[in-house]
Structure 1
Amino acid sequence: MDVKLNFRLVNPYTRKCYDLPPLPPYDSLHDSTTYVKGSISEEFYSFESMKSMLVAKAILDRDPSHSSEFKVLMMYGERNSLAFWKLGDPTWTLITVACIFFTDIIFFKEDFYAVGNFYNNNDIYLVNTGPNPNAKHVGPHIKHRGTFAYLVDYMGELLLVQRFRFFFNERFITKRIIVKKIDLEGKSYSEYKPMEGHSVFLGANSCITVDPSKYPTCRKNAIYLTDRPHNISEEQGCKDLWIYDMVEGSFSRYYSARWYIPASPIWLNPT
């Protein structure tokens, strides 16, 4: 994204690029009810203060190198609002859902889904990108007790991972993980009990599930966590880098990072 909010989709391996439309006008990126001209809110919602969180996440429904038709869904702005773009569209199409702050999006079994916070619940929405775009509540009400909620495609099962972070020694540290298995047809959920032994790599970008038999250094039944941008400092680097054992319910550190970068580290699975 450049300073004029223009986007370019880039494949880092093939260098193939696609130009995307710019974001909607900046005034629509914040909650107008809290914005007063000339107030502290105006300074808080300035471009300089907001630019690092204009876009929280963007995902694809198809690999552009294998399909001439693909869509991009993103979470943007103060409330992580939803918008999508498909090849050939001149602008982004906005999807308005009142009072919802979305925390994650996923393309799962040929559909886009989003999880949001609403009245202390984590609710799952089916995102319709057809002629009448909308977000329809399709999942169960799950008590929201974590700091972040993620959607994970775990070998064809949809999991909701709730991550609990606490302020410790001037940093936010993950201290608890809860994993739920979601039944979209029955609109129910259950505690997930790992059996297959796969590993999950969880972070601000798309979550990745891998087979440890193909990656011998990966732990079975483990969730690898990355840090968040606001938790990274020049003095301390990244501190919230952990492996969570889903069987034992324990945490261990996999890397003591000392670097400083102004964004969250991401997982990359070369193909």
Structure 2
Amino acid sequence: MSAWSDLIFDVLEHITSFLPLPDHYRFGAVCKNWRSVSKQRRHPPAPQLPWLVLEDDKETRNRKFYSLSEAKHYSLDIPELHGRYICGSSHGWLFAVDLKITGILINPFTRECYELPPFPGYNEYTNVTTLIEELPSDYEEGDGYTFEDMQPRIVFKAILSHDPKERSDFTAMILFGEMHDSAFWRPGDSSWTVIVGPTFSMDDILYFEGNFYVVSAMNLLYMVDFESEPKLIEVGLEIPPENSVEGCGLQSYALFLGRNACLLVDSCRLPECKKNGIYFTHTTQSTSPDEFGFYDLGVFDMTNKMMGTFYSVEVVFPRVDSPVWITPNPW
């Protein structure tokens, strides 16, 4: 019998198409031949569940990740994310902001990175530390001027239209400021373009079949019109009221929601996830865990209308910004 390391490239490459990310790296660590195969992938990787991006370790500054399928933590040294908070995730890329209110778009598994221009309302000289030092004389602790308090006011959420590795003409869109106004940026732009919209706050953004949509706090849906002067156009579809799930169902799919671009996963291909379930993360400023932990993490079963957990409270560390779902995309 021939040695495993001597298998031809096509056979080995076919094997890798069945491997999730951790096993893909283990495959590449077997020998030089297998490592070469793992770096020359020609076929899409095996379907995989999203990971959670957690906080950075205070001692090592490594960024923590949680693999849902393995129920296991990983610690990765990603210097570009040191001291930054995550405000969005799309196609395996993260939006991250630091104390100087500078933003980057980064693939944490390849370290490919885009520097983003100053966010609307700020410039290259803006620094959160300076803003805090210039607080009014009547400021009292708890008034909302810490970096953690200011995070959702800088960028509340950010998503992409496409994977930057597949299309160089992608568009990034954010909700920013007190009222979660919307703005977009494309590679080559020197600044963000603010989109004209209603005066009330926006709650979410999504990209679907070639269009960006914004969900308002009034449960109204708007489409982004990029022609001439970018603006939001109400599409006349009212979002179902909160907690209303009558007549709704995901069948064999599971939905992953949070500051990430929403992810839909087929549980027939990934039976580790709960079919007809909604996995969610949510920003919370609570300093004591409730039944879902510091982060308000949970999974809602739409079949029996029950709430459950997918992440142990004992391993959750207190932090103000919530974890973010990401589908690893190192290829």
TM-score, normalised to structure 2, is: 0.58
The match for 2:300 is 244
1:89 aligns with 2:189: yes
Asked if the contact 2:180/2:202 (under 8 Å) is kept, the reply is: yes
Is the aligned partner of 1:222 residue 2:277? yes
The amino acid of 1:265's aligned partner reads P
Structure 1 or 2: larger helix share? 2
Instruction: In structure 2, give the amino acid aligned to 1:57.
Output: K
Match of residue 194 from structure 1: 249
Pick the aligned partner of 1:51 from 127, 131, 150. Answer: 150
Q: Name the residue aligned to 1:21.
A: 117
Q: Is the CA contact (8 Å cut-off) linking 1:194 and 1:246 kept in structure 2?
A: yes
CA RMSD of aligned residues (A): 2.7
Unaligned runs of 5+ in 2: 1-96, 124-135
User: 1:63 and 2:163 equivalent?
Assistant: yes
d(CA) in 2 for partners of 1:25, 1:142: 30
Runs ≥4 in structure 1, deviation > 3 angstroms? 37-41, 43-50, 141-144, 234-237
Cα distance change, pair 222–45 in 1 and its aligned pair in 2 (3 A): closer
Letter in 2 for 1:254: F
Please say if residues 124 and 137 of structure 1, whose CA atoms lie closer than 8 Å, have aligned partners that are also in contact. yes
Name the amino acid aligned to 1:88. G
Query: In structure 1, how many angstroms separate the alpha carbons of the residues matched to 2:196 and 2:209?
Result: 23
Given that 2:148 and 2:321 are in contact with CA atoms closer than 8 Å, whether structure 1 keeps it comes out as: no
Once residues 235 and 252 of structure 1 are traced to their aligned partners in structure 2, the CA distance between those partners, rounded to angstroms, is 15
* Corresponding residue to 1:262 among 317, 320, 323: 320
Query: Displacement, 1:25?
Result: 2.6
1:1-271 counterparts in 2 under 5 A?
Answer: 1-26=97-122, 44=143, 46=145, 48=147, 50-53=149-152, 54-118=154-218, 122-142=219-239, 144=241, 162=242, 177-179=243-245, 191-194=246-249, 196-231=251-286, 233=287, 237-238=293-294, 240-258=296-314, 259-260=316-317, 261-271=319-329
Q: Which has the higher contact order (CA 8 A, sep 6+)?
A: 2
Amino acid at match of 2:221: I
Q: Which amino acid aligns with 2:178?
A: E
Contact 1:4 1:22 in 2 (8 A): no
Residue 4 of structure 1 deviates from its aligned partner by 2.8
Matched letter for residue 313 of structure 2: A
CA contact (8 A) 1:239 1:257 kept: no
Identical-pair percentage? 34
How does the TM-score come out when normalised to structure 1? 0.70
**CA deviation string 1:63-106 (max 9, x = no partner):** 11011211100001111110111111111101132322111100
Change (3 A) 1:142 1:14: closer
Inter-CA distance 250–64: structure 2 relative to 1 (3 Å threshold): same
Gaps of 5+ in 1: 28-36, 145-161, 163-176, 180-190
Which amino acid in 2 is paired with 1:21?
A: P
CA contact (8 A) 2:211 2:223 kept: yes
Distance 2:186 2:113 in 1: 14
The offset of 1:45, in angstroms, is: 6.6
Supply the distance in 1 between the matched residues of 2:138 and 2:148 (Cα, whole angstroms): 15
Q: 2-side partners of 1:49 and 1:115: how far apart?
A: 24
Distance (whole Å) between structure 1 residues aligned to residue 247 and residue 157 of structure 2: 26
Paired AA for residue 324 in structure 2: I
Mapped to 2, the partners of 1:266 and 1:240 lie a distance apart of 12
Counterpart-to-counterpart distance in 2, 1:225 and 1:101: 21
Change (3 A) 1:103 1:263: same
